[in-house]
Amino acid sequence: MSKRNDLEHKALQHIMNTGFDGILQSDLWRKLGASSREGSRIALKLEEKKLIRREKELRNGRWTYRLYPKRLPAKIDSIADVPCLMCPDNPRCDPSSAISPQSCDKLTDWLLSVSKNEAGFLGDS
């Protein structure tokens, strides 16, 4: 892995670990030991790949960017309330039967609530 790809990978890992809080790009470059020029280039590249989003932020009288992950790693908490786990129809639920995920209102409602939460997190980008 080239030094630049390695730095890009490390930057993405850090950004993903910040979750909903995001991280100021200057703080990230300091942590990674990168110059701000190199860091800005990497942030733009990650944004182009749609892996992060950048939001302008005024900090100490200067404009900078806060970097947020577009996706967070899946955690067990993210499916803890999926209706299938406690569903009495689970043993009979199958895409080829009358009881099916394709026609399940409970699953559809759950998926809509998850996507609504995610849309709020991702903003309109």
Complex with ligand SF4: residue 24 or 111, whichever CB lies closer: 111
Q: Name the minimum Å distance from CB 87 to ligand SF4.
A: 3
Q: Name the minimum Å distance from CB 7 to ligand SF4.
A: 43
Complex with ligand SF4: residue 32 or 104, whichever CB lies closer: 104
Q: Name the minimum Å distance from CB 79 to ligand SF4.
A: 11
Q: Name the minimum Å distance from CB 91 to ligand SF4.
A: 9
Q: What is the CA radius of gyration of the chain?
A: 20
Taking Cα atoms as reference points, which of 34, 32, 43 lies closest to residue 68? 43
Cα gap 70→7, rounded to integer Å: 18
The backbone torsions φ and ψ at residue 34, rounded to the nearest 5 degrees and listed phi first, read -105, 155
Contacts of 18-21 spanning 24+ positions with Cβ under 8 A: 18/67, 18/68, 18/69, 19/69, 19/72, 20/68, 20/121
Cα gap 108→34, rounded to integer Å: 45
Q: Which parts of this chain interact with ligand SF4 (CB under 6 A)?
A: 83-84, 87, 89-90, 93, 99, 101, 104, 106-107
Complex with ligand SF4: residue 16 or 84, whichever CB lies closer: 84
